[in-house]
A and B are shown apart, each in its own frame.
Chain A
Amino acid sequence: MITVSQTLENVRDSSAKEVVSQCIERIEASKFNTFITVAKESAPEAAKKSKNIKGSLAGVPIAIKDNISTKGIRTTCASGILGGYVPPYDAHVIERLKEAGAVIVGKVNMDEFAMGTSTETSHYGPTLNPWDIKRVPGGSSGGSAATVAAGEVPLALGSDTGGSVRCPASFCGVVGLKPTYGVISRYGLISYANSLEQIGPIASNVADMTHLFNVVAGHDPRDSTSVPGEKDYTNALVDDVEGLTIGVPKEYFGEGIDQAVEKSVRDSVHRLEDLGASWQEVEMPHTKYALAAYYVIAMSEASSNLARFDGMRYGLRLEKDHDWHTTYSEIRSQGFGEEVKRRILLGTYALSAGYMDKYYLKALKVRTLIKQDFERALKSTDVLIAPTMPTPAFKLGEKISDPLTLYMADVNTVPVNLSGVPSVSLPCGFSNGLPIGLQIMGKHFDEETIIRTAYTFEQNTEFHTKAPEVA
């Protein structure tokens, strides 16, 4: 894997243009189907311009999940329905990256509209896990995590609606953060479930992830849910957990958890204890309802968020028109993949007359209870630690045929989105050569403490130095 400091050094020694062109060569030679669109024209130009930019990421290549709007670069959400859509505007995070001198080298693969846990629902075919090409990279930001793990780029942005940054970070052995809701502007993030999702940084190590986070986080007046203020998160890169109290929620080690995963995570807690932290078991009794509540809310919101894809202003349009409603239905039937359609149908049902209270409203109430679980657990502790995923990466095709089984894989990641708290996933072990992810969750707006905990763990362990053989 490549680090930011190494990349900046390479830029200094040769040039940004050289660094970017090598990066594009690696991407084009990739065996993992990580990219949907490579910015072969705009990236070298941006690299040239980055010489004059004083930003912290001047000349550093970055991969962007394909549900983030990039002016002049095709944006597909890995769906057939967006056809050849080339946005006329940049997402807020893209503007910030450009100001910092980062070079967007292209758009990476994902589950269609971020609906999935494996990057298998992409219209552009699945991304493969660089640690084992027979396995999934996780999802939905599978392309973002896999391209970093494969050493193609040092940095990537993903988005996390129910674990979509942390899951692939865990499966690919990289570091990914889901910030507190409202910390990174969603302006330009193509909505799947807008009350749950955040853009998140992905990198090969905690420090790089934090540098990227520092660039993209901050207030944006174009997002009503963006919180005011700016912080320097790099101040949290401190190797010290003395006095830190860790909560270990027992519900996150439930049925179906892989033995090796449980052992690695518990060992990690002990390692942090050795470094000066203390830990206690905590109870989060509503965790088992999180999955159902999450899917009801996410699907309901999705059914509305995806209504705009009608082929009038952009995206797929069929040759022959009929009347409006028939035309609209046909475009959607052809343009959306199976999982997307399933979620739209379920979400439409959950919001429809007579079922709204039973499903949608009920889920929002359960969401309140889950939020309260977090508030209670984090009252006596500073961070919560649990496995990101109950297992290492599963095999391609293993779960895709049964939606419910696939949904179950998100059991440990969705509560974080329901409650809005920040959470980071970083490598903490291996099982049969496959990485295991450690999830550190914190209080609202306390990214600093989870970053400090993650950084301390990383500084005192070797897991982040391992990389897959990609040659």
Chain B
Amino acid sequence: MITTKDVEHIGWLARLKMEEEQLEGYADQLNSVLDYFGQLDEVDTREVEPTYHVLEMNNVFRDDKITDCLTRDEAIGNAPKTQDGYFKAPRII
């Protein structure tokens, strides 16, 4: 069972700001879905390897060859805040 405290923690891990009054609603929704996921416990997977890739491909490389860069205007053109060719982010702390 996920508690409102758990929701707060997951919300922080996921960096989704939540208001106090939303926590209970989220807890209910998450619990009902996680309940459903619980049915996976029924499956015996002791001898089963996980599938990360459906295709068994290995060793796909590219050569160490230079390709075109974006221009700086293209690179920063979509940024809401910039300064002197840099992206502008908030202070860290």
A residues with a Cβ closer than 8 A to B are 83-86, 88-89, 181-182, 195, 221, 224-225, 227, 286, 289, 292-293, 295-296, 303, 311-317, 321-330, 332-333, 336, 341-342, 344-346, 348-350, 352, 359, 361-369, 371, 403-404, 407, 418-420, 444
Contacts and interface: CB of A to CB of B under 8 A. Distances in A.
A227 to B, nearest CB: 7
A341 B17 CA distance: 10
A361 B50 contact: yes
Contact of A224 (B30, B50, B60, B87): B60
Given A195-B54, A346-B30, A362 B45 contact: yes
A342 B29 contact: yes
Interface string B23-35: 0001001101110
Contacts of A444: 54-55
Nearest to A318: B80
A225 B17 contact: no
B15 A332 contact: yes
Contacts of A195: 52-54
Residue with the highest number of chain A CB atoms closer than 10 Å, among B11, B50, B77, B79: B50
A332 B16 contact: yes
Contacts of B77: 86, 88
B13 interface: yes
Q: What is the size category of the interface that chain B forms with chain A? A: 35 or more
A292 B76 CA distance: 40
B93 interface: yes
B14 interface: yes
A368 B2 CA distance: 28
B49 A323 contact: no
A324 B87 CA distance: 13
B66 to A, nearest CB: 15
Given A227-B57, A333-B18, A345 B26 contact: yes
A276 B50 CA distance: 39
17 contacts: A89-B70, A195-B54, A225-B53, A289-B40, A296-B37, A313-B79, A315-B78, A321-B91, A328-B15, A346-B30, A349-B2, A364-B52, A366-B43, A369-B48, A404-B32, A407-B36, A420-B54
A352 B30 CA distance: 15
Contacts of B62: 221
A426 B81 CA distance: 47
A365 B49 contact: yes
B64 interface: no
A40 B3 CA distance: 50
Given A85-B78, A333-B18, A342-B30, 9 more contacts: A296-B40, A313-B87, A323-B92, A324-B93, A333-B16, A362-B41, A369-B45, A403-B32, A419-B54
